[in-house]
């Protein structure tokens, strides 16, 4: 599967690159909207990860041009929204998370791959990073099948799955994801307004300046 990653800042998508490489997918990188459009002339992509804040053609303008091409009209696009580079919003050196990077990459990779899996052709996936109240929040929202509200309390339970055809296949992966986040003294939550209305998964982790506890990390993998 070909995945197109578009970002004008080479250091920004390093974590995503690591996640996608672990998934074994073919990652093609472009450093601008125009470079992304050229890449689309050479091959087809299963999904496009697109930075919103780029010079010349920004992410939304690039997406509009992508949608104008017949071959890429229905290609899922994930908008990558980072904090602005203003003094008020940029991460400081003390805004770090004490974490096992490999385990957290597995968690985000699991959530992101689920979002792509359950989003229909032409739909979108929204990935956001934010800092709030001494925590780092990573959220992934999709426009897919959604989750029955009655199942939401059980979505992270081991071996539990939604009804067949209603976002089935979450199972063990999310249970292990919650276990890994718990070991890092964080929280993972799921939200959905119901079947057919998409879902949002949010991972919240304490920043080092807000908590000095070390994460307890055990062996495990995310399906």
Does residue 183 surpass a pLDDT of 60?
A: yes
Domain boundary among 49, 81, 113: 81
Task: Decide if 221 is inside a domain.
Answer: no
* Structural domains of the chain, count: 2
65 and 27 in a common domain: yes
User: In terms of Cα–Cα distance, which of 200, 183, 11, 218 is closest to 97?
Assistant: 183
Radius of gyration in angstroms for the set of CA atoms belonging to the chain, rounded to a whole number: 18
Task: Decide if 213 is inside a domain.
Answer: no
Q: Which residue has the tokens 């067949």?
A: 164
188 and 108 in a common domain: yes
pTM: 0.58
- Print the domain residue range for 64: 2-81
Q: What is the 3-state secondary structure (H, E, C) of 130-147?
A: EEECCEEEEEEEECCCCC
**For residues 131 and 83, is the Cβ–Cβ distance under 8 A?**
yes
Look at residue 17 in the predicted model and tell me its pLDDT: 67
Q: What is the 3-state secondary structure (H, E, C) of 180-213?
A: HHHHCCCEEEEECCCCCCCEEEEEEEECCCCCCC
Top pLDDT among 80 and 217 is at: 80
Q: Which of the 8 DSSP states describes residue 154?
A: G
The domain that holds 11 is classified in CATH as 3.40.50.2300
Task: Decide if 90 is inside a domain.
Answer: no
Task: Decide if 91 is inside a domain.
Answer: no
Look at residue 120 in the predicted model and tell me its pLDDT: 80
**For residues 152 and 199, is the Cβ–Cβ distance under 8 A?**
no
Task: Decide if 131 is inside a domain.
Answer: yes
41 and 108 in a common domain: no
**Burial of 202 by CB count in 10 Å (0-12 exposed, 13-18 middle, 19+ buried)?**
middle
Continuous segment of H or E residues that includes residue 2:
strand 2-6
In tens, the pLDDT along 16-75 reads: 666 666 556 688 889 999 999 999 998 888 888 888 788 888 888 998 899 888 888 878
- Terminal Cα distance for the chain, rounded: 18
Residue 128 has φ and ψ, to the nearest 5°, of -130, 145
The domain that holds 175 is classified in CATH as 3.30.565.10
In tens, the pLDDT along 116-150 reads: 888 887 777 888 878 888 888 889 999 888 888 88
61 and 14 in a common domain: yes
142 and 66 in a common domain: no
- Confidence class for position 107, pLDDT limits 50, 70, 90: confident
């Amino acid at each position: 599967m070909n995945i197109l990653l578009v970002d004008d800042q080479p250091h920004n998508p390093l974590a995503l690159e690591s996640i996608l490489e672990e998934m074994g997918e073919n990652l093609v990188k472009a450093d601008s909207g125009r470079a992304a459009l050229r890449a689309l002339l050479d091959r087809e992509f299963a999904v496009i990860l697109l930075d919103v804040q780029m010079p010349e053609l920004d992410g939304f303008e690039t997406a509009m041009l992508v949608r104008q091409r017949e071959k890429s009209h229905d290609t899922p696009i994930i908008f990558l929204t980072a904090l602005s580079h203003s003094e008020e919003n940029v991460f400081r050196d003390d805004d770090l998370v004490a974490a096992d990077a490999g385990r957290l990459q597995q968690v985000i990779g699991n959530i992101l791959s689920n979002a792509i899996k359950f989003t229909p052709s032409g739909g979108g996936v929204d990935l956001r990073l934010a800092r709030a109240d001494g925590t780092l929040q990573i959220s992934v929202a999709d426009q897919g099948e959604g989750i029955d509200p009655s199942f939401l309390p059980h979505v992270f339970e081991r071996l539990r799955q939604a009804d067949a055809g209603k976002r089935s296949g979450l199972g063990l992966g999310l249970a292990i994801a919650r276990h890994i986040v718990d070991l890092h003294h964080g929280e993972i939550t799921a939200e959905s307004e119901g079947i057919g209305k998409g879902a949002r998964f949010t991972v919240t982790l304490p920043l080092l300046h807000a908590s000095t506890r070390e994460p307890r990390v055990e062996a495990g993998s995310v399906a």
